[in-house]
Amino acid sequence: MTTISTDLLGQNQPVYRIRDDAEAIAISQKLALEFTQEASERDQQRRLPAAEIHRFSASGLWGITVPRQYGGAEVSLVTLAEVFKIISEADPCIGQIPQSHFYSVEVLRLTGNEAQKQFFFERVLEGDRFGNAATEIGVKTTEDILTRIERSGEGHLLNGRKFYSTGALLADWIPVVARQEDDRKVMAFVEKSANGLTIVDDWSSFGQRTTASGTTLLENVYVPATWVIPNYLAFEQITPIGAFAQIIQAAIDAGIAKAALRDTINFVRAHTRPWIDSNHDHGYEDELLIYEFGRLQIQVHAAESLLQRSGEFLDRARANPTEITVAEASIAVAEAKALTTEAAIQATNKLFELAGTKSTLQQFNLDRHWRNGRTHTLHDPVRWKYYTVGNYFLNNVLPVRHAYI
């Protein structure tokens, strides 16, 4: 078992370079203990986790998918999902913030040229964080992008407006998805200090309150040509990039479910009274409460199992990307996302039913679990996961290749 020294994760320590999967898990477990401590207070005060994110990236966890040939640990995606689940159980806002960072690292791996990989992978290993400026509002679908990138001298100019810019306020680089002159989508890496880049902290959702998922404004932002990658190739070619993006979302939902279950246990054991007809002295002895808790625990365990299974499919698809392996990975991840969504919603809702009226008091702030679960599970409509899975097994229809399946 890997042991982590107390000073390894210190604020003034240089960025640590994680060596393998076991070390990644051990470090995430250590950080989770720390991040749990003030998760409720951060939610109540809407206090962005700046210090925590610094500790998170300094731990080396943000570099664990960098390929070994560039100095990274190149952990399995089973491990990556486990890390996200562990951190998200502690605080799902901290868990969600690096989702786009890892997506950008994967897009670089798949479509970046050698010089881009060497430069950006080293920046990641040195502790640089990628934010997110991909999605827009006021358009027909999430695939519609109005942001444009046009050639200007030796580089490009970016113009547009983004929303759901999760983690951008706490990032060093903002990967921006934009359409170039031929209408293909590229990803431009913009330095946080770039002229014309404005990040607005206007995220007002009732859940995932401290993810800083607000607005990014781009007004004639200059980007060197070497910082623009053809991420459209990740979808034109046979790659499991969509399943990669989705397994992270499923892991966050699993973490939310586990956090709700943990706090249900703690509250019932400490506060919940038995029902008057149960003839017991404590709520945790109530047979019907125990029965409902058992159902909930089984559902969460099943969701975790499907999450691990989907990571195994995804690892095989990354090692050998064919039309079949990529489809299998997408379906496995869709199954996991469907069940982790239901587990998160059920666990965060059942918490109050099992814990009782006292659990709704503001002093406990247990509603943050429901608010976080309800908000994050909206990331991709789970009804389309069921449709895709059903169409695959019933009609042998392969899933489409995009970032949402």
244 with 341, same domain: the answer is yes
250 with 359, same domain: the answer is yes
85 with 226, same domain: the answer is no
Angle between helices 21-36 and 77-90 (to 10 degrees): 10
Domain contains 198? yes
DSSP string, 347-399: HHHHHHHHH-GGGGSTTT-THHHHHHHHHHGGGS-HHHHHHHHHHHHHH-PPP
244 with 354, same domain: the answer is yes
Tokens for 296?
């909930």
387 with 247, same domain: the answer is yes
Calculate the dihedral angle through the C-alpha atoms of 230, 235, 236, 240, rounding to the nearest 10 degrees.
120
Task: Please state the length of the chain.
Answer: 405
Using 70 as the pLDDT threshold, list the residues of the chain that sit under it: 1-13
Sign of CA dihedral 259, 263, 266, 268: negative
311 with 358, same domain: the answer is yes
Gyration radius of the chain over CA positions: 22
Give the pairing of strands 148-152 and 155-162: antiparallel
Q: What is the pLDDT of residue 237?
A: 94
Domains: count for the chain: 3
184 with 62, same domain: the answer is no
Range of the domain at 185: 148-232
Q: How far apart are CA 321 and CA 361, in angstroms?
A: 51
pTM of the model: 0.95
87 with 158, same domain: the answer is no
Q: What is the pLDDT of residue 159?
A: 98
Tokens for 73?
């640990």
Residues 6+ apart with CB under 8 A from 82: 25, 28, 251, 308, 311
Q: What is the pLDDT of residue 12?
A: 54
pLDDT in tens, 182-219: 999 999 999 999 999 999 999 999 999 999 899 999 99
47 with 33, same domain: the answer is yes
